[in-house]
Structure 1
Amino acid sequence: MIFPSSTFKIYLATDPVDFRKGMDGLAAHVMRNFDLDPFCGAFFVFRSKGSDKTKVLMWDGTGLVLIYKRIEGRGFVWPKMQGGTVTLTKAQFEALFEGLDWGRVATAHYTHPKIA
C-alpha cells in the first residue's frame, strides 16, 4: 500500500487512458491534456477502460515512479467520465486504492483558531 503525505496534490484523470502507456507516455499525457507538470511531485491517478486497473504516476525527486494495481472483485469506484481531472484528498486516494467508494469519504475543513 502506498500512502502519500497529506501535503501532496493528488489528481485523478476521469477518462480512461491507453494502458499500454508507460511512464513517459503518461507524463506526456499529463502535460498535453491537463496542462500540469508531471515532475512537480503530485500523484497522477489513471484508470483503464475496465474498472479493475489503475496506474499512479509520481515524481519522487530522483525519477518517475509508476505503480500499477489490478483489483479483484467489482473493481475500483471511478467518477463519471467528464474529461480533465478531479482532485482527491489523501483519505479519498487511500479509499480508492483499496477499492472502496472514495466519494463517500468526508472531507474535513478545518479553521485555524484566532489568537486569543
Structure 2
Amino acid sequence: MTDIEFMDRAEQLLLAVEQGCDRINEETDADLDSQRTGGMVTISFRNRSQIVINLQKPLHEVWMAAQSGGYHYRFDGARWMDTKGDGEFFAALSRDASRQAGQELRFTA
C-alpha cells in the first residue's frame, strides 16, 4: 500500500467514526462527543472516559486506545484488522464504546 492509498483508506475510517458518532447521538441518548484534530479522533463519554483513534502514517496503521487497552490495525485489502489477530476495527470500536457508554452502540465502515 502506498502512502496515498493509506491516507485515503484511513481518512475514510476516521470519517466513518465521526459519522457513526453523529448517527448514534441522533438515535440514542448516549451523548457522545467526538473531536477531530488532524489524524486523530477523540470520542468522549458521559463518564468522562475516552477512546482515541489516531493514524500512524509511517507504519500505515490506525491505533485505538480505549479503557480495555491499546490496539493497532492494518488494512488487509478489505478491512482494518488488528495486528495481533484480535479482530476487525469497527467490531472492536463498537465493543469498547458500548462498554464505556453503558449501552449497546454500533459503528460500521
Q: Is the shorter-chain TM-score for this pair beyond 0.5, marking a shared fold?
A: no
TM normalised by structure 2 equals 0.30
Where is the helix percentage greater, Structure 1 or Structure 2? Answer: 2
**Higher RCO, 1 vs 2 (CA within 8 Å, ≥6 residues apart):** 1
TM normalised by structure 1 equals 0.28
